Chain A
Amino acid sequence: MPTRAEVLELLERGDTYGAVGQAFGIAPGKAYMIATGRPADGAPDGDQALVNPRAHNPTEKPAVVAWVRERAPRELTRPEPS
């Protein structure tokens, strides 16, 4: 387990908690806890990304847009030019 000084050294170098975690083979949240003394979960400046694995939350699906584009001309009429 790295010491606080070792973690802070990498952070001061500009590494993220994710990179620090990777460097020492620990979770990013654990690096945060070593550096700050507080759990990342719920800390005011903490981040879920430090505690949790990568979140799965896609908001775009090109296949759906393509499906709508293929369907629309078949089913809808173009408005009369005003």
Chain B
Amino acid sequence: MTPRLPAPSAWPVVRQLRGDDPSARGDAAKSRRSATLQPRTADADRVVKSVCPYCAVGCALNVYVKDGKAVQIEGDPDAPHSRGRLCPKGSATLQLTTGSAREHHVLYRRPHATDWERLDLDTAMDMVADRIVAERRRGWQWEVGEGQDAKRVRRAMSLAALGGAALDNEENYLIKKLLTALGVIQIENQARVCHSSTVVGLGTSFGRGASSTMPGDLQHSDLIVLEGSNMAEAHPVAFQWVMEAKARGATVVHIDPHYSRTSALADVFVPLRAGTDIAFLGAIINHVVSNDLDFREYVLSYTNAPTIIRQEFEDAGADGLFSGFDPELRGYDPTSWQYEGAYVAAAAGQRDQEGNVRLQHGQGEHGPESRGTPTLDPTLQHPRCVWQILKRHYASYTPEMVERVCGVPQDLFRQICDLFVNNSGRERTTAFVHGVGWTQHTIGSQYIRAASILQLLLGNMGRPGGGVMAMRGHASIQGSSDIPTLFDTLPGYIPMPHAHAHDDFASFVTADAPAKGFWGDMPSYFVSLLKAWWGAAATKDDDWAFDYLPRLTGTHSTYDTVMEQVKGTVKGYMLFGQNPAVGSANARMQRLGMANLDWLVVRDFSLIESATWWKDGPEIESGEWATEDLATEVFFFPAAAHIEKEGTFTNTQRMLQWHHKAQDPVDDQRSDLWFMYHLGKRIRERLAGSEDEMDRPVLDLTWDYPTTGDHEEPSADAVLAEISGFNADGELISAYTELKDDGSTACGCWIYCGAYAGGVNQTARRTPAREQSWTGSEWAWAWPANRRILYNRASADPEGRPWSERKKLVWWDADQGKWVGEDVPDFEADKAPGYRPPPDARGPDALAGDDPFIMQADGRGWLYAPAGTASGPMPTHYEPQDSPVRNRLHRQQRNPARQIYEHPANRYHPDPGEAGADLFPYVLTTYRLTEHFTAGGMSRWTPYLAELQPELFVEVSPELAAIRELAHAGWATLVSARGAIEARVMVTDRMTPLRIDGRVVHQLGMPYHWGANGYATGDAVNELSSMALDPSSHIQEVKALTVDIRPGRRPRGPARRALVEDYCARAGITATTGVAP
């Protein structure tokens, strides 16, 4: 039957032209159909304030709720940082939470079973508690070493956990607290594999390992340099501030191997070879110091440029090795890097590892005061002052070398140098923005250091429009670094203790707390933490329960844990919203580890690849494994989503935002807070009455959080209140300066102290942007002390006056006798610029009135890091682990201290020029897309997002496509010594072939989000990568590796592995390939 058309007089266009609505914004646009439509928000009965669970921009959400169910999620226009905007992922959060791909019930895979079975939640919880208790007892270590070398470790080495960056701070807190009490040290999360290099790089340079600024402050920049970040696609909502700056006249530069939307919106795009940023940045440093283009007054007063270094220090010259390198240990003894006349501790990085050395140098009979005072040369002429050392170190980093090493033409490089210099100084500021393009290298932490040095030289730290903006990737990856589900730190970046010969609380703080600055108050922060965890059991007589903490004996990163799984040491493993079978380097090694476990717990929304490898992983497909042969017992617990629980995320600008619960989780779905709390209760019930000393930390743990509802959900507010801190009168403390080392205060994370000040949840504050200043200081709460721009004392000159009217932020008001301005001063509010500490002053009192870097042991920004890094005091260019190019700046090809792992499934490629190297001639870099999220667990199961980006692809230049006969939209196979994958080919000018040292080097680009499960499926790019790590941050190198590419799909079945083995055989790859220091 032919449908009846409405009469022409009823057509909208006719009604528009004939009626009284010529603009067609009213009645003319209405129809019978539109009359039946109404917005999903129309009949909502309330709006719940929430936060996007994807990246670390932390866009604020309005969740519309009707009858207890979310019906719509939109951006909150009141938010100062996101201004109501959302990216495709944020816009899809309703589908993320209400979609049908989420699991509702506990699933259980028995050893050797071929499929899942249902298990009730209580039984599953009991089974996991039983296994933890039993495995802990079986694998318990009291000591390592023997006889006089024996060191107490008190730990459970057969248990490990991974994940937390997608969780709330309160959830991470309970994970760290319970597992540490159980003696588990192998606790890690996404922060290790994403931004751990940032923490080391920024922390050693400035005193804190987090972004110094916030995206909203980029609007004040005169120059924004985005390097190692595709901000327009990876953090699009924050990128609005770059566009804001551009609209105000700022210049935007993008430096990256891969042309992207960020490049398209930049004024200048600089393509460079992946893995060469230190050569590029080092050459800019050389340009600045050799031409005296620095901001000299800032440099002299606020950096360690005048500080004299010990005579025994030897720079990494032509050979590329600093003094102190031990080839046997593949590492440095950093003693010779220290200041002359002093022995200082770093604020981040390698801290307690170096603690023993400092103890020898610093304690002595006079106590820590004998660490001494650095010797300064304000003329900068002393040959051993940092300025002169820096000048010599970078002298060979010339424009010619930039062209040879990075592939950047000299005139383009000089243009960038001029932009830096012309946009820095009293009147102008430059900001750096970086992402994981900088961090994920075998020398990633030094990439961040290089940028930090440049910002210090040019006087861009602590000032509006300046700073280093680290764009972090998960909703609370900053939070999971601050309250660390990480092996090497305790909450607030207190170092996790290593096993030392003399091992008590006093020795620890003497070794690790510097004499000067706010880290000098570490005893107050640490005692308050131990009181929060062990309450009445932490007494002065019992050394504050310091002995309850398990001890480290080296590195226990997630990659070390994988090796321990493969070796059979680790038997029980828990995953909290992390998918290592896709997201960690060398995906096959991850599966080899998990296949060797006794039991595995996976908590997630859907059945991610790390939960199902035993039935459908690549080794099953190839026939290498049979499911029936695999003994690992697997528990899958469905997780509650962000709108189904309360808590805080800490975003990339250190801002804690509370998200409220909008709806209840269903069936077996539970929050991680619920899981950890009830798991802890069950474990404590099993240990009740034990008189075994190993159980005391568990039984003495403060674990009585109030609960609500039928599920007995623990109160996230109560957990946050404990984190924030309280005193003996039960008052919620306002600031970390109120913490004491006498047992009268408790505080779970000293840098979060004040988040619950006065009994008010400061993180839930939501004063609309239009009702406050641009800093947004009344929206949520930022650590530390709600400061939005760190080191802002440096926005004023030594006398306390703004460097310029245009760039003023905080300044000294002599009449009021305090620091005032737009932001909370990152300085003692009433300390005058002219204050000079008495000789016996310690801690904060030892900071002068013009020491802006208040966490540093000398109050200064570190151009040269005398401690804290494992790769030398100054960034040095080394080639990536797998590179087709020889190092032209130093004889040392690779970072000599990098961490590598010997295993047949983790082979490395031959050195360039050696036989077999030509089999892997192309540089591969990886990145992420706007529509997907990290390892895909929150996007490949979401239909909108899966449809937007359905397939894995590889970007190749037209030149390379011609060479390798690759057809656009056809298939290609990529091969490394680790694995072989397939992807659709995208032939595009976005990948630029570069002329490197007289020959053309081709680069490939691939997003890394795919795996075998979900709606959008594809091979995991991490099948190609190796486990080769930065020794300071223990991060993997996945931003620059080498591969071969060939047309066509990869082989199926056993032929896939055979292809990889054939490549290895033809390249002559063995256990010794590529492993020389």
A62 contacts across to B, CB distance below 8 A: 759
Known contacts A68-B726, A75-B535, A78-B744; is A55 also within 8 Å of B732 by CB? no
Q: Would you call A52 and B78 a contact (CB within 8 A)?
A: no
Other-chain residue from A57, A59, A68 in contact with B760 (beta carbon distance below 8 A): A59
* Cβ–Cβ < 8 Å partners of A64 in chain B: 706, 715, 717-718, 721, 756, 759
B614, CB-defined interface residue at 8 Å: no
Q: Would you call A14 an interface residue if the criterion is a C-beta within 8 Å of the partner chain's C-beta atoms?
A: no
- What residue of chain B has the Cβ atom nearest to residue A27's Cβ? B42
Kindly report which residue of chain A lies nearest to residue B662, judged by CB atoms: A56
Whether A77 and B743, one on each chain, are in contact in the complex, defined by CB atoms closer than 8 angstroms, is: yes
| Cβ 8 A contact of B729, one of A41, A42, A57, A72 | A72
Q: In this complex, what residue of A is CB-closest to B48?
A: A56
Query: B46 interface residue, CB < 8 Å from A?
Result: yes
Alpha-carbon distance between A2 and B540 when the two chains are bound, in angstroms: 73
Question: What per-residue 1/0 map shows which CB atoms of B535-546 lie under 8 Å from chain A?
Answer: 110010000000
A5 interface contact, C-beta 8 A: no
Interface set, chain A 53-82, CB cutoff 8 A to B: 53-65, 67-80
Interface of chain A residues 15 through 44 with chain B (CB within 8 A): 41-42
Are B718 and A76 in contact, CB atoms less than 8 angstroms apart?
A: no
CB-CB < 8 A to B41: which residues of A? Answer: 52
The answer to whether B536 touches A71 (Cβ under 8 A) is no
Residue from B62, B531, B760 within 8 A of A52 (CB atoms): B62
CB-CB under 8 A for A42 and B536, given A52-B62, A75-B702: no
B143 at the interface (CB under 8 A from A): no
Complex contact A77–B742 (CB within 8 A): yes
Find out whether the CB atom of A74 lies under 8 angstroms from the CB atom of B535.
Answer: yes
Looking at the assembled complex, report how far the CB atom of A62 sits from the nearest CB atom of chain B, in whole angstroms: 8
* A59 CB contact (under 8 Å) in B44, B84, B722, B765: B765
A68 to B746 alpha-carbon distance, docked (Å): 11
Interface-central residue, A48, A58, A68, A74, by most chain B CB under 10 Å: A68
Q: Which residues of B contact A60 (CB under 8 A)?
A: 759-761
Q: Is the CB of B764 within 8 A of A58?
A: yes
B358 within 8 A of A: no
Q: How far is the CA of A47 from the CA of B77 in the complex (A)?
A: 10
Q: Is the CB of A72 within 8 A of B727?
A: yes
> Is the C-beta of B45 less than 8 angstroms from some C-beta in chain A?
yes
CB of A76 within 8 A of CB of B745, answer yes
CA distance A73 to B64 in the complex (A): 42
- Among B47, B660, B721, B765, chain A packs the most CB atoms within 10 A around the CB of B47
A55-B46 in contact (CB<8A)? yes
User: Is A72 within 8 A of B726, CB to CB?
Assistant: yes
Residue B746 contacts which of A61, A65, A67, A75 (CB distance < 8 angstroms)? A75
Q: Which of B291-350 contact A (CB under 8 A)?
A: none
Instruction: Name the residue on A nearest B719 (C-beta).
Output: A64
Query: Is A79 touching B726 in the complex (CB atoms < 8 A)?
Result: no
**Residues in A neighbouring B536, C-beta threshold 8 A:** 74-75
Contact (Cβ within 8 A) A56 B730: no
User: How far does the alpha carbon of A75 sit from the alpha carbon of B847 in the complex, in Å?
Assistant: 33
Complex Cα spacing A10 to B730, Å: 50
User: Which one of A48, A55, A70 lies within 8 Å of B77 (CB-CB)?
Assistant: A48
Cross-interface CB contact of B730 among A41, A48, A53, A68, cutoff 8 Å? A68
Nearest A residue to B704 via CB reads A71
**Closest chain B CB from A2 CB (angstroms):** 15
Within 8 A of A (CB), among B69-84: 76-78, 84
A40 to chain B, nearest CB (A): 11
> Which of the residues B44, B77, B726, B744 comes within 8 Å of A53, measured between beta carbons?
B44
A57 touches B49 (CB 8 A): yes
B727 touches A76 (CB 8 A): yes
**Given contacts A55-B47, A64-B715, A65-B759, A71 and B77 within 8 Å (CB-CB):** no
Residue of A nearest to B756 (CB): A64
The A-B contact count (CB < 8 A) is 115
CA A10 to CA B728, docked complex, whole Å:
55
Given contacts A53-B45, A56-B48, A59-B764, contact A73 B717 (CB under 8 A): no
- List the A residue with the shortest CB-CB distance to B540: A77
Partner of A42 from B44, B45, B77, B539 at Cβ < 8 Å? B77
Of residues 689 to 743 in B, which have CB atoms within 8 Å of A's CB atoms? Answer: 702, 704, 706, 715, 717-718, 721-722, 726-730, 732, 740, 742-743
Contacts of A70 in B (CB 8 A): 730
Check: B463 CB closer than 8 A to any chain A CB. no
State the CA gap A60–B596 with chains docked (Å).
48
| Closest residue on chain A to residue B762 by CB atoms | A59
Which residues from B are CB-within-8-Å of A65?
A: 721, 730, 732, 759
A79 touches B728 (CB 8 A): yes
B768 proximal to A (CB < 8 A):
yes
In the assembled complex, the Cα of A66 lies from the Cα of B762 at a distance in Å of 18
B1007 to chain A, nearest CB (A): 33
Chain B residue contacts of A79, Cβ below 8 A? 728, 740, 742, 744
Verify if B235 is at the interface (C-beta below 8 Å from A).
Answer: no
Chain A nearest CB from B216 CB (Å) reads 19
B527 to chain A, nearest CB (A): 11
List the B side residues contacting A72 at CB < 8 Å: 726-730, 746
Complexed CA–CA distance, A77 and B759 (Å): 21
List B539-575 residues whose CB lies under 8 Å from chain A. Answer: 539
A48–B60 Cα gap in the complex (Å)?
14
Q: How far is the CB of B524 from chain A (nearest CB, A)?
A: 12
Contact A73/B766 with A42-B77, A59-B761, A64-B718 known, Cβ cut-off 8 Å: no
Shortest Cβ distance from B67 into chain A, in angstroms?
Answer: 13
- Report Cα–Cα, A71/B687, bound state, in Å: 23
Closest to A55 in B: B47
Taking the nearest CB of chain B, how far is it from the CB of A55, in angstroms?
A: 5
Q: How far is the CB of A81 from chain B (nearest CB, A)?
A: 12
What chain B residues lie within 8 Å of A75 (beta carbons)? 531, 535-536, 702, 746
A4 CA / B531 CA spacing, docked (Å): 64
Given contacts A73-B730, A76-B727, A79-B742, contact A67 B718 (CB under 8 A): yes
Query: For B84, B715, B759, which residue has the most chain A Cβ atoms within 10 angstroms?
Result: B759
Question: Please, which residues of chain B bring their CB within 8 A of the CB of A57?
Answer: 49, 660, 764, 766
Question: Could you tell me the distance in whole angstroms from the C-beta of A76 to the nearest C-beta in chain B?
Answer: 4
Q: Min CB distance, B987 to chain A, in Å?
A: 42
| From A41, A61, A77, contact of B761 by CB (8 A) | A61
- A71-B717 contact given A56-B660, A59-B761, A60-B759, CB 8 Å threshold: no
CB distance from B74 to the nearest CB of A (A): 9
B765 to chain A: which residues have CB within 8 Å?
59
Complex CA–CA separation, A61 to B660 (angstroms): 13
CB-based contact A61/B717 at 8 Å: yes
Cα separation A74 to B744 with both chains bound (whole Å): 11
How far apart sit A51 and B715, CA to CA, in the bound complex (Å)?
31
Q: Separation in Å of the B960 CB from the closest CB of chain A?
A: 47
Q: A67 vs B717: C-alpha distance in the bound complex, in angstroms?
A: 11
The CA-CA distance from A68 to B732 in the complex, in Å, is 8
Question: Within 8 Å CB of B48, what residues of A?
Answer: 55-56
CB distance from B718 to the nearest CB of A (A): 5
Chain A proximity of B720: nearest CB distance (Å): 8
How distant is A26 from chain B, measured CB to nearest CB, in Å? 11
Q: When chains A and B are docked, how far (Å) is the Cα of A58 from the Cα of B658?
A: 10
Q: Which residue of B lies closest to A80 (CB)?
A: B742
- Write out the residue numbers on chain A whose beta carbons fall within 8 Å of the beta carbon of B745: 76
B76 — which chain A residues lie within 8 A by C-beta? 48
> Chain B residue with minimal CB distance to A75?
B535
**Whose C-beta in chain A lies nearest to the C-beta of B539?**
A77
Instruction: Find A56's partner among B47, B539, B718 (CB 8 Å cutoff).
Output: B47
Contact A76 B761 (CB under 8 A): no
With A53-B46, A61-B717 known as contacts, the answer to whether A78 contacts B764 (CB < 8 A) is: no
18 A-B residue pairs with Cβ-Cβ distance under 8 Å, sorted by A, are A48-B62, A48-B768, A52-B64, A53-B46, A53-B64, A55-B49, A56-B46, A56-B49, A57-B766, A58-B660, A59-B764, A61-B715, A62-B759, A65-B759, A67-B718, A68-B726, A72-B746, A76-B743
The 4 closest A-B pairs by CB, nearest first: A69-B730, A75-B535, A72-B730, A76-B728
A48-B76, A52-B44 known, 5 other contacts, Cβ within 8 Å: A48-B62, A54-B47, A59-B765, A65-B721, A68-B726
